Structure 1
Amino acid sequence: MASTLADRECEACTSSEDPLSADEYAEYIEELDDDVWTVVDDHHLEGTYEFEDFREALEFTTEVGELAEEEWHHPDIHLRWGEVTIEMWTHKIDGLHETDFVMAARMDRIYEGFDAE
């Protein structure tokens, strides 16, 4: 049985790797919540999660921060009342890597644990 994207290991890339092309990341983006995530300019992922209030958004932000520290892969996180926006790419290659999609899938999994509308 194939593992889901969220179950894959976050593997660091090397600076000699090229960013993923649209054809290469097409299979990964299909595994993410399409109500949340988009690829912007073939350069980075952007996702917005909605919550009932500030407290839930803050708790989600904390869980994403813990995940980022655990995997040593840190997104830009924008916290607002009832909303968290994530921007992510691999800075070492200034573009998208499989790990960005793995992290996004793990954030989707965290989000499933919240009572969001």
Structure 2
Amino acid sequence: MTQALADQECEACTSDDEPLTGDELDSLYEQIETGVWEIVEEHHLEGTYEFDDFRAALEFTYEIGELAEEEWHHPDIHLAWGEVVVEMWTHKIDGLHHADFVMAARMDRIHEEYAPEE
């Protein structure tokens, strides 16, 4: 059985690594919340999470901030009432790396706790 992306290690890249492209990029993209995330110009991920109120968005922002510190992989985070937008890529290679998708999957998992009620 394949290990869930959110359960995989968030391994740092080296300067010898190349940014992901093509099929490899598509395969990882299929494992994150496609209704939340989009790949922008094969360069970075942009995710938009929605919440019922500001407090839930703020708490989610705090949680992903803690995750970023733990993994030493820091996204750009934009907080607004009822919404958090996350932009992420690996600066060392100026593009997307496996670790970016692991982080996105972990953020998706955290969001499940804060998801708006339907």
TM bin, normalised by shorter chain, reads over 0.9
Q: Tell me the TM-score normalised to structure 1 length.
A: 0.97
Amino acid in structure 2 at the alignment position of 1:101: F
SS in 1 for 2:23: helix
How many residue pairs were aligned? 117
Amino acid in structure 2 at the alignment position of 1:5: L
Q: Indicate the percent of aligned positions where both proteins have the same amino acid.
A: 68
Q: Tell me the TM-score normalised to structure 2 length.
A: 0.96
Amino acid in structure 2 at the alignment position of 1:4: A
Q: Which residue of 2 aligns with 1:9?
A: 9
Residues 1:68 and 2:68 aligned together: yes
In structure 1, how many angstroms separate the alpha carbons of the residues matched to 2:65 and 2:79? 12
Q: Please show how residues 40-79 of structure 1 align to structure 2 within 5 Å.
A: 40-79=40-79
In structure 2, how many angstroms separate the alpha carbons of the residues matched to 1:111 and 1:40? 21
In structure 2, how many angstroms separate the alpha carbons of the residues matched to 1:37 and 1:116? 17
Q: Which residue of 2 aligns with 1:20?
A: 20
Give 5+ residue unaligned stretches, structure 2.
Answer: none
SS in 2 for 1:46: strand
Report Cα offsets for 1:60-115 as digits up to 9, x if no partner.
00000000000000000000000000000000000000000000000000001114
Q: Which residue of 1 aligns with 2:33?
A: 33
Give 5+ residue unaligned stretches, structure 1.
Answer: none
